[in-house]
Amino acid sequence: MRRIRNVGRGFGLVALTALAIGAGMASAEAQTQITMWSNWPDEPAKKDWVSARVQEFEAANPQCQVKLSFIPKADIYTQAKSAVRTGQAPDIFYMEPDQPEFLAGGFLEPLDDYIDVNAIEPWAKPAWTAKGKLHAVPVEAYTLELYYNKDQVKKVGVEVPASFQLTQAQFADLVKKGVAAGITPVSQGVGDRPFPGGQLLFESLLRKLGKDDYGKLLSGELSFKDPRVVEVMTWVKGLVDDGAYPKSFSTLKLGESHFYFYNTPGALTFPDPSWFTGRAFAPPEKGGMPAGFPLGIMQFPAMDNGACPNCKTLAVSGSFVMYSRGKNKDCAGKLLKSMASVENGTKWVSQVSLQSGLKSDPAKIVSPHKAYFEELNARNKDVDYFFGTPLLHYRAKCAETYVQVMNNAFPAGLISVADAADKMDAACLKK
Amino acid sequence: MTDIATVNAKDRGEARASSSTGLADPRRATRLVLSIFLGPGLLVYAGLTAYPAFRTIYDSFFHIEGLEATFVGFANYVELMGDETFWIAVRNTFVWSFIAPILDVATGLLLALALYAGVPFARFLRVAWFTPVLLSYVVVAILWMWIYNYDWGAVNVILRTVGLGDLASSWLGDPNLALGSLIVTHAWKWAGFNMVVCLAAIHSLPREVLEAAELDNCGWGAKLRFVIIPMLRPTLLSLYILSFIGKMKIFDLVWIMTQGGPLWATETVSTYVYKRAFNWNTFDLGYPSAIATVWFLVVCASVLILNRVLASKDRLEY
């Protein structure tokens, strides 16, 4: 009898185990794993924002599991270029609008049927719209700003006007006074980036030409030999020759140029996209801005007879796209939908201290850098935005020439105005 | 006698029997055995070397956009002939490939001679000089970017310290200096390898010849010029050609330190191929394949010519 009972128990145990294994297998089968590549491995605030969105999504959607990797941007581009061709690309990956080939090649899934497009800022949509469909969730956006050290600028004897915009002559005077005082006027370096060296020149060109003609310049319909362009280039060349940039300009990296501005040796101004905060608001021991640093934001200088002194560049950068040949579009779409919300836009602005292509609720923004935000908003009030930096518009040989000439050689003083204009026209001007 | 003859006949019979299995003499191995031994190696070679090479040549006749390939004949090659940046890259690569190996080999030879002559701390120096060979290009590049830093790099700090501050330069930012700076960095990395090879070659020189030279009151300089270097000629030429081939393909050091800038002053063919393949806002691999194909032929032709010109009498191995 006892043996029969033992046998019965044994059967029961086996049955229970089988049931448990079966249930486990069924749940494993029901769970879908999607892969996601994100940039920002070295920017804690942005990384935390992405991780939090993924965790929230997984908690709300137990049938979807996300394999999230943080990979440097350049590596994502290189790997994605091979992977999309062979069907091996991740379901969701980081992308910026300056890589249009992915959209043109049909590798990005239209997202209109997956996400709430009303949660995206209207100005951010064109960057990712093709054939009337939106192809990315534009998380990160920025404006080009001219940061300055209030104390040092005052110390060299320059008073920033109430408009926070110097004239062409006043800015040239600031450069001269900075050099005379032994303080580098403009902290900037192009050691590891293809764009910073062109910021001062191209923002000045935007203000001189106005949005329409500046757009033509970037689309190759206006020559760099246009008298207005030559006038601005000649002015910038004068600043360069006066010693506006650091001597180590060609090799100074972006992170180093931050440190150069607000730490050692210090500089008067620092032209930078508003993602400046990603590094500047890191703890000082990790290379961030020292506590109490007298940071100010001024407008780029107004050009003499400029068509648009209140113009400014606005751009979309870090975005997330869905692979069009992915096998888990359902889960991937749900994840992007959960990310693209006003609430998450507000969280981005609060946590990262940077603009977003997602709509946000200003009333709910809670940030330890409130004063900074107020100043940034003040500098962006009544501004007429031009969408996209030069590298967002330039392609192939024209982009490479911009990198070599306008980003590097011209601001480094290695090339004359005429030669720079010749090279840009040869590469960019539509015949 | 008979016994010996019988035993030998027996041995020969066994040897014949064993050779009939095809294992004793590889030249008589059956095709099956040969294919078993060669197969894996050939498969790896075909899959990882031959196929990619032929595929690159094949792709160079197409324009590839996304997943569609359009046959364009020689259009990519015609475009290449008029590509100004390509020719700048060719010039830079040739300058680097022909001139830099002289520096590499000369430095290696000098270091080897110093060790051979018994400089103090020779054992330590041999390790120290060889260490850069073991470092990856990434480490070497970062190290030398620090050394060349305008503000606090060792080169400029030394120049300022000895009162030559006017010579302090942006070594990687000046188009006139950038290529030379990279060449020096590359020579520093490989000097140790050349040193080891030269040292081994010097030690294997026939002692009686060197002793005869000494008996004839031949000084160090004369011994070097008339005895050692002529006898090391095949080794030095092999090192030169090895170095030449390596520099014709140089990529990593340039990419990390200058990315071909400033103003294309350090652009090499390899960095240009990479830019065209991955940094050109296009998925087209046809044009980069055409550059790679042309350059493959140029490297092969250059090596053949160098072999002819420099080593007509000596068989080189590399």
Convert the pLDDT of each residue in A285-331 to its tens digit: 888 899 999 999 999 999 999 999 999 999 999 999 999 999 999 99
**Above 70 in pLDDT, residue A6?**
no
Count Cα neighbours of B151 within 13 Å in the Cβ-side half-sphere: 15
Domains of chain B, residue spans = 77-310
Task: Pick B173's closest partner by Cβ from A400, A405, A412.
Answer: A412
According to the model, what pLDDT value does residue A168 have? Answer: 96
Q: What is the mean pLDDT of chain B?
A: 87
A409 touches chain B (CB under 8 A): yes
Of A98, A105, A400, nearest to B283 by CB-CB distance is A105
Q: Cα torsion at B40, B43, B47, B49 (round to 10°)?
A: 90
Cβ-based contacts under 8 A for chains A and B? 76
> What is the CATH number for A128?
3.40.190.10
- Rg of chain A over CA atoms, in angstroms? 26
Percent of chain B with pLDDT over 70: 88
Domain assignment present for residue A93? The answer is: yes
What is the percent of chain A where pLDDT is above 70? Answer: 93
CA distance B134 to chain A (A): 25
Do A61 and A203 belong to one domain? no
Q: Which residue segment(s) compose the domain that A244 sits in?
A: 142-315+371-428
Q: What is the pLDDT of residue B316?
A: 47
Report d(CA A57, CA A34) in Å as an integer: 12
* Chain B residues with CB-CB distance to A403 below 8 A: 261
pLDDT at res. A325 = 92
Statement: residue A39 has pLDDT above 50: yes
List the one residue out of B258, B234, B251 whose CA is nearest residue B295: B251
Question: Which of A72-76, A366-370, B77-81 has maximum average pLDDT?
Answer: B77-81
- Interface membership of B264 toward A (CB under 8 Å): yes
Q: Please tell me whether residues A292 and A353 are part of one structural domain.
A: no
Per the CB < 8 A criterion, the answer to whether A263 and A187 are in contact is no
Contact A403 B261 (CB under 8 A): yes
Q: How many CA atoms lie within 13 A of B83 on its CB side?
A: 21
Are residue A167 and residue A256 in the same domain, yes or no?
Answer: yes
B82 in A contact zone (CB under 8 Å): no
Q: A113 and A3, same structural domain?
A: no
Q: Are residues A383 and A350 part of one domain?
A: no
pLDDT at position A5: 52
User: How does pLDDT run across A341-352, given as a tens digit for each residue?
Assistant: 999 999 999 888
State the DSSP code for B280: S
Q: Which of A250, A238, A205 is nearest to A404 (CA)?
A: A250
pLDDT digits (tens, 9 = 90+) for A382-419: 999 999 999 989 988 999 999 999 999 999 999 999 99
| Contact yes or no for A244/A413 (Cβ under 8 A) | no
Q: What is the pLDDT of residues B172-213, one digit of tens each?
A: 999 999 999 999 999 999 999 999 999 999 999 998 888 888
CB–CB of A296/A160 below 8 Å?
Answer: yes
B219 confidence band (pLDDT: 50, 70, 90): confident
* Same-domain pairing of A291 and A154: yes
Q: What pLDDT, on the 0 to 100 scale, is given for residue B23?
A: 54
Mean pLDDT of B285-299: 94
pLDDT digits (tens, 9 = 90+) for A368-386: 888 898 899 899 999 999 9
Is A88 found in the same domain as A113?
yes
Task: Pick A404's closest partner by Cβ from B172, B263, B283.
Answer: B263
User: Is A365 within a domain?
Assistant: no
Contact status of B169 with chain A (Cβ, < 8 Å): no
Instruction: Name the β-bridge partners of A32.
Output: A64
Distance CA A318, CA A328 (A): 22
Q: Is the pLDDT of residue A157 over 70?
A: yes
Tell me the CATH class for B77-310: mainly alpha
* Interface residue A245 vs chain B (CB under 8 A): no
The H or E element containing residue A184 is strand A184-186
Give tens-digit pLDDT for B228-244.
999 998 899 889 988 99
Structure tokens at A142: 């920025």
Q: Are residues A203 and A95 in the same domain?
A: no
What mean pLDDT is predicted for residues B256-260? Answer: 92
Which chain B residue's Cα is nearest to A105?
A: B66
**A positions 70-109 inside 8 Å of B (CB):** 77-78, 81, 85, 98-101, 104-107
Cα A363 to Cα A3, A344, A346, A366, A383: the distances in Å are 73, 14, 9, 8, 21
Q: Look at residue A320 and tell me if it is in a domain.
A: no
A11 has a pLDDT exceeding 70: no
DSSP for A305-345 reads T-S-TTEEEEEE--EEEEBTT-S-HHHHHHHHHHHSSHHHH
Q: Beta strands A311-316 and A384-387: pairing type?
A: parallel
The token duo for B159 is: 């120049």
- Whether residue B282 and residue A396 make contact (CB cut-off 8 A), yes or no, is yes
Crossing angle of the two packed helices B137-147 and B154-161, in degrees rounded to 10 = 30
What six digits make up the tokens of A353? 């201290």
Neighbour count for residue B311 (Cβ, 10 Å): 16
Average predicted confidence (pLDDT) for chain A = 91
Identify whether the C-beta of residue A406 lies closer than 8 Å to the C-beta of residue A202. Answer: yes
| Shared domain check, A416 and A288 | yes
pLDDT band, very low/low/confident/very high, at B8 (cuts 50, 70, 90): low
Residue A34's DSSP bridge partners are A66
Upper half-sphere CA count for residue A23 (Cβ side, 13 Å): 6
- Whether A428 and A406 have beta carbons less than 8 Å apart is answered as no
**pLDDT tens digit string along A192-227?**
889 999 999 999 999 999 999 999 999 999 999 999
Q: Is the pLDDT of residue A18 over 80?
A: no
**Preceding amide of A90 cis, omega within 30:** no
Strands A319-322 and A137-138: antiparallel
Average pLDDT over residues A44-61: 94
Euclidean distance between CA atoms A388 and B87, whole angstroms = 32
Whether residues A59 and A147 fall in one domain: no
Q: How many domains does chain A have?
A: 3
What is the distance between the alpha carbons of residues B218 and A196, in angstroms, rounded to a whole number?
A: 62
Q: Compare CB distances from B172 to A98, A100, A250 and report the shortest one's residue.
A: A250
8-state DSSP, A423: H
Q: Which residue of chain A is at minimal alpha-carbon distance from B173?
A: A250
CA distance A261 to chain B (A): 15
Give A-chain residues touching B149 at CB under 8 angstroms: 248, 251
- Hey, are the CB atoms on B283 and A399 less than 8 Å from each other? no
A397 backbone dihedrals φ, ψ, rounded to 5°: -65, -35
Q: For residue B248, give the nearest of B267, B268, B263 by alpha carbon.
A: B268
The total of other beta-carbon atoms located within 10 Å of residue A117's CB is 16
**For residue B303, what pLDDT is reported?**
84
Can you give the pLDDT at residue B19? Answer: 47
Please give the pLDDT value at position B14: 52
